[in-house]
Amino acid sequence: MNAVTGSPTSPGTNPTKARVSRLGRSDRSAMGLWFWEIDRVLLLLVVVLISIGLIAVAAASPASAHRYSDTGFTLSPLHYFWRQLLWVCLGVPVMLGISMMPQQLARRLGLLMAGIFALCLAAVPLIGFERNGATRWIGVGFSQFQPSEFLKPFYVVFIAWLLSLKANDNSLPVLPISGAVTAVIAALLMMQPDFGQTIIFCSIWFAMVMITGLSWRAVGILAGIGGVGITAAYLFYPVATQRINNFLFQSGDTYQTDSAHATITAGGLFGTGPGGGEMKFRLPEAHTDYIFSVIGEEFGLVACLAIAGLFLAMAIRVFVKLLDEDEPFLILASAGLITQFTAQAMINMAVNIGIAPSKGMTLPFISYGGSSLIALCAGFGLLLAFTRKNPYLTRSPYVVKWSGR
């Protein structure tokens, strides 16, 4: 007789196993262990962001469909929404599948993919095709992808692995090697040109290097090198010159930034309501780069602040968890990944509200885009894998950490 349900158990059935509930604390299956080890708060936050993204793409889709339709070809008003739903259906399983991997296997996957997509990035100048004045995509059959988007999370894993080697041998020149790798990637990105992604890669590297522990002298040197690099980009890189001049001196074509500012402020505090926006039809990329402005118009500045709060909560959650982490690689990889998400979100929001020059960068998990969303889901899957913890092992008084406490 089953003590829980009162129903008779079949002969040969272990009564103890019969009482084990699916995803319960006593479930020792792979799914059960994953459910109790995963950071469910982080998982909830990213699900909320993806859900907001679907709503935002549905709001922006009519404007973009109208802009890209002509007399011979008309896009459905919800064309981009249905395509984004498809990318979500592909990206979420990728995220969950990677998050279920053991941390060692996730690290090996990251290192392998870093090499593959680095080669793809190097091949962009040779076999890539141009879109909107930039050569950033590689075509595979009937589809195309952006190697730099996929490289970002796996680059973090590679740099984290490289910098973590210093914990075993302090004499290893990991800092100059990681800097040289980042410089090569930055040069390849500037050739496309993609100034925004260059800033993201350099910001990730700087944040991870800071976590390893640097003297103030080294920080000053790196800051000086960064300043020299930005100055050189302004003087000798036409794309950077144009965008910085447009931002600082309001010279040249400022239509995009002006339209974004007008759109995000048109909705006031609570917005015009879903589908009620009119200024969004003036935006050049309402469903991608300027989707934050569409959210501001139709759902108000309150919604914009809520989205910023979600990214902030995500960053705080990760860094608080890392306070109890002892493994150098896991600290660096997790910090680098959350830096990628939050830095990209901050830059996109800053461009939309007019306090940063245009970068051509999407809002993570919210903007439309296949390469962007799947790559972000893969990166977040790595973050979930690297932050997995046994909640009972750390509470046991019989477990001694490497620190001796």
Residue 212: the pLDDT is 84
How many other CB atoms are found less than 10 A from the CB of residue 289? 25
Q: Is residue 253 part of a domain?
A: yes
- Rounded to whole angstroms, how far apart are CA atoms 3 and 257? 67
How many other CB atoms are found less than 10 A from the CB of residue 6? 7
Mean model confidence pLDDT for the chain: 83
Q: Is residue 33 part of a domain?
A: no
Residue 402: the pLDDT is 44
Q: What is the mean pLDDT of residues 176-199?
A: 88
Residue 196: the pLDDT is 82
Residue 404: the pLDDT is 47
pLDDT confidence tier of residue 16, bands split at 50, 70 and 90: very low
- Per-residue pLDDT at 315 exceeds 80: yes
pLDDT confidence tier of residue 391, bands split at 50, 70 and 90: low
Find, among 340, 390, 333, 323, the residue nearest to 108 by Cα.
Answer: 333
The answer to whether 361 and 289 have CB atoms below 8 angstroms apart is yes
Higher pLDDT, 75 or 390: 75
Number of domains in the chain: 1
Q: Which of the 8 DSSP states describes residue 280?
A: G
In percent, how much of the chain has pLDDT > 70?
86
Find, among 153, 232, 160, the residue nearest to 195 by Cα.
Answer: 232
Q: Is residue 158 part of a domain?
A: yes
- Rounded to whole angstroms, how far apart are CA atoms 120 and 124? 6
Q: Which of 15-19, 216-220, 266-270 has the highest mean pLDDT?
A: 266-270
Q: Is residue 23 part of a domain?
A: no
Q: Tell me the residue range of the domain where 221 lies.
A: 48-67+77-386
Q: Is residue 142 part of a domain?
A: yes
Find, among 297, 308, 303, 302, the residue nearest to 264 by Cα.
Answer: 297
Torsion of CA 293, 296, 297, 299, to 10 degrees: 140
pLDDT confidence tier of residue 181, bands split at 50, 70 and 90: very high
Q: Is residue 404 part of a domain?
A: no
Q: Is residue 242 part of a domain?
A: yes
First-last CA distance in the chain:
46
Q: What is the mean pLDDT of residues 322-331?
A: 89
- Rounded to whole angstroms, how far apart are CA atoms 251 and 234? 15
Q: What is the mean pLDDT of residues 128-153?
A: 80
- Sheet (strand 143-145) strand order: 129-131, 134-140, 143-145
Q: Is residue 12 part of a domain?
A: no
In sequence order, which residues have a C-beta less than 8 Å from that of residue 208 and are 6 or more positions away?
Answer: 156, 159, 160, 163, 332, 335, 336, 339
pLDDT confidence tier of residue 44, bands split at 50, 70 and 90: very high
Tokens standing for 326?
Answer: 């002892």
How far out from the chain centre does Cα 333 lie? 13
- Per-residue pLDDT at 199 exceeds 80: yes
Residue 28: the pLDDT is 63
The answer to whether 323 and 329 have CB atoms below 8 angstroms apart is no
